[in-house]
Every structure is written in structure tokens, then in C-alpha cells.
Amino acid sequence: MTELDKAILNNRNILNFSHLCETIQNTEHLTDSDKEEFKKIREVASDFNNWNFSDLAIGCKVTEQRLKHTFNLSDESIAAIVRLASYDWR
């Protein structure tokens, strides 16, 4: 498990995606590379094309699959990211 993965999991109970993003960017023990990687994760998770469906569950599944195929994250971290991103699309 990477340090980025651990940081996401440690903050999975945050109430909104923007706050998670801010927290990750301000986490001192993460490298600049980790923070850049998270910016890419945020871009994928927030992509309009993931969420342009009448059913939020479809958007969650699409986002989950894209994250799994693109980034080396645990299933728990992906679930937390998808959950938080989905709140922005309700």
C-alpha cells in the first residue's frame, strides 16, 4: 500500500471531495509526486463523462472502473473517492 493510498484511507470519512483534495495537498509526508498523482485521480473521478447518466449508480460504476484501470489504489480508497465524488453529482 502506497503512502497516498494510506492518506486517502486515513481521511475516507471526510464529508466532501474538495476537503479530501485539500487535505491530501496539505499532507506533509506525501511527496510532490503523490500530490500530482492525486490531482490526476481527482480529474478522472470528477470527469463529467463519468457522471452524465440519469442513474447515479452507473456513474459510480464507471468512475470505479476508470480509477481501477488507471491507478494503483486499494479497493477501499477507490470506494472512498467514488463516494465523495458522487456527492458532487447528486
Which residue range(s) make up the domain with 60? 3-87
Confidence at residue 75, expressed as pLDDT on a 0 to 100 scale = 97
- Give the other-Cβ count within 10 Å of 67's Cβ: 21
Confidence at residue 1, expressed as pLDDT on a 0 to 100 scale = 85
How many domains would you assign to the chain? 1
User: What DSSP string describes 17-74?
Assistant: HHHHHHHHHT-TTS-HHHHHHHHHHHHHHH-HHHH-SS-HHHHHHHHHHHHHHHS---
The least confident of 36-40, 43-47, 73-77, 85-89 is 85-89
- Residues 30-61: tens digit of each pLDDT: 999 999 999 999 999 999 999 999 999 999 99
Radius of gyration (C-alpha) of the chain in whole angstroms? 12
- Does position 70 have pLDDT exceeding 80, yes or no? yes
